[in-house]
Amino acid sequence: MATPLTAGQRAQLEAELTRRQGELARRLADHRGGLTRAERAHELLEQEADNAPERENELGLDGAIIEIEARELAAVRQALARLQGGDYGICAECDGAIPFGRLQVEPWALRCVKCEGAREAAGR
């Protein structure tokens, strides 16, 4: 099934995905730099037992943010690849078209609202 998106809509979504890719890559680079600094600080503070748990939490939070951003960046890159390949905008579950309105909100969406909803309900 061919994607029902117009060339203009595809161009708009591609621009948004490319913008998002750049933003995420920049934020990830920033956070990785921050983590390196936190790790150095942690080494310096290792003897100060009182401060140790606090440093651990900061590192954990940074790690969680990096993981979320890395996962989103991967999804954005995959969406750009699908856009090149021609299967972009097609639901991975039911092969139905993902409405343009949904793609505007979430350009890396893999499933239509119905299938995404069913998946989330099953996961709970």
Where on the chain is the footprint of Zn ion (CB under 5 A)? 91, 93-94, 96, 112, 115
Nearer to Zn ion by Cβ, of 17 and 112: the residue is 112
Structure-token match 């409405």, residue found: 99
**Min separation Cβ 117 and Zn ion, Å:** 9
**Min separation Cβ 91 and Zn ion, Å:** 3
Nearer to Zn ion by Cβ, of 20 and 111: the residue is 111
d(CA 118, CA 121) in angstroms, rounded, equals 5
Nearer to Zn ion by Cβ, of 81 and 94: the residue is 94
Nearer to Zn ion by Cβ, of 73 and 112: the residue is 112
Beta strands, E only, 13-123: none
d(CA 91, CA 67) in angstroms, rounded, equals 25
**Min separation Cβ 79 and Zn ion, Å:** 16
d(CA 64, CA 39) in angstroms, rounded, equals 15
Render the burial of 13-24: b for 16+ CB within 10 Å, e for the rest: bbebbeebbeeb
**Min separation Cβ 37 and Zn ion, Å:** 44
